[in-house]
């Protein structure tokens, strides 16, 4: 029997539907349409021509930027997950309730400041005459080139995503059944082995979702590759700005944007499938 629609139910579900239609589906549909428009003398004309797709997909520089961006975002996801786990583990299992609340509050504080400002402030630390190199100079080291490198871009990515990854990991770790950990210890399972055999599998969904959010945020980020990486190497977000600088080629920029959206959807799909695959297998046992 089909559930009956009620006014009460619609009151709460319709705004979400309208929101999604207005601010996600409609712009996405326009972006798809835009990718088939043509540009003549700096003016965009509604059209239905696949030339933008053929041109962009035929450019080696596009695929080079795609591979670079994918590799950077994947590396950032792994790095953020590895760096975040000890912190989220300690907050979840080692701190008192009060200290945990303070830790969560501290993780939220970075979001109070503009990401752009935080990235600009890293320049003061990482430049050749910056704070880090000056400190290294006191012990007779350096200066080391840090700014305008891939490493600096990664620092920016961590600035963007690490607090969020810690929070997401934390929320999955705090809900782990402590009896499982105690049972493991009772069965003489060591602390480290318990982490890998019990904690991580139990928090698998949250850990994968945290890494996925890091991937999503960094894959489309423009600020860190430009202001910390010096625009070198070219990422897809930089390629979008380059493309729009060439005679109003917004339709070609739309092709890049749609490719990015498609990639993110595919990655999200596989990540979620991977995250829940273990649970389903567990349920069958």
Tell me which residues touch another protein (CB under 8 A): 41-44, 59-61, 64-65, 68, 120, 123, 127-130, 145, 147-148, 226-227, 229-234, 238-239, 242-250
- CA 137 to CA 28: how far, in whole Å? 51
Q: Which CB sits closer to another protein, 204 or 252?
A: 252
Q: Which CB sits closer to another protein, 73 or 210?
A: 73
Question: Can you list the positions of beta strands (E) in the chain?
Answer: 38-40, 43-45
Q: Which CB sits closer to another protein, 128 or 197?
A: 128
Q: At its nearest, how many Å lie between another protein and the CB of residue 160?
A: 18
Q: Which CB sits closer to another protein, 43 or 179?
A: 43
Bond preceding residue 143 cis, omega within 30 of 0: yes
Q: At its nearest, how many Å lie between another protein and the CB of residue 202?
A: 43
Q: Which CB sits closer to another protein, 233 or 278?
A: 233
DSSP 208-240: HHHHHHHHHHHHT--HHHHHTTTT-SPPHHHHH
Neighbours of 266 (CB within 10 A): 10
Q: At its nearest, how many Å lie between another protein and the CB of residue 116?
A: 10
Q: At its nearest, how many Å lie between another protein and the CB of residue 236?
A: 11
Q: 40 forms bridges with which residues in the sheet?
A: 43
Q: At its nearest, how many Å lie between another protein and the CB of residue 184?
A: 50
- CA 243 to CA 182: how far, in whole Å? 57
Please name the residues in contact with 172: beta carbons below 8 A apart, sequence gap of 6 or more: 203, 205, 206, 207, 209, 210
């Amino acid at each position: 029997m089909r559930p009956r629609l009620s006014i009460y139910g619609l009151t709460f579900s319709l705004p979400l539907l309208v929101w999604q239609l207005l601010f996600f589906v409609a712009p996405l549909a326009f972006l798809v349409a835009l990718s088939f428009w043509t540009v003549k003398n700096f003016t965009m004309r509604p059209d239905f021509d696949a030339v933008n797709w053929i041109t962009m997909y035929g450019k080696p520089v596009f695929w080079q930027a795609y591979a670079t961006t994918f590799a950077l975002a994947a590396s950032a996801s792994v790095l953020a997950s590895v760096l975040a786990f000890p912190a989220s583990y300690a907050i979840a299992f080692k701190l008192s309730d009060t200290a945990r609340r303070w830790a969560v509050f501290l993780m939220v504080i970075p979001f109070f400041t503009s990401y752009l400002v935080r990235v600009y402030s890293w320049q003061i630390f990482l430049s050749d005459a910056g704070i880090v190199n000056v400190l290294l100079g006191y012990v007779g080291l350096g200066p080391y080139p840090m700014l305008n490198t891939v490493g600096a871009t990664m620092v920016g990515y961590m600035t963007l995503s690490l607090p969020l990854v810690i929070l997401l990991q934390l929320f999955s770790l705090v809900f782990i059944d402590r009896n499982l950990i105690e049972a493991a210890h009772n069965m003489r399972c060591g602390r480290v082995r318990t982490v890998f055999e019990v904690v991580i599998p139990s928090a698998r969904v949250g850990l994968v979702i945290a890494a996925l959010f890091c991937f999503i945020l960094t894959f489309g980020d423009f600020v860190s590759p430009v202001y910390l990486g010096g625009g070198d190497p070219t990422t897809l977000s930089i390629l979008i700005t380059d493309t729009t600088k060439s005679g109003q080629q917004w339709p070609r920029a739309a092709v890049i944007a749609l490719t990015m959206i498609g990639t993110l959807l595919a990655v999200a799909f596989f990540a979620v499938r991977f995250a829940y695959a273990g649970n389903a297998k567990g349920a069958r046992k």
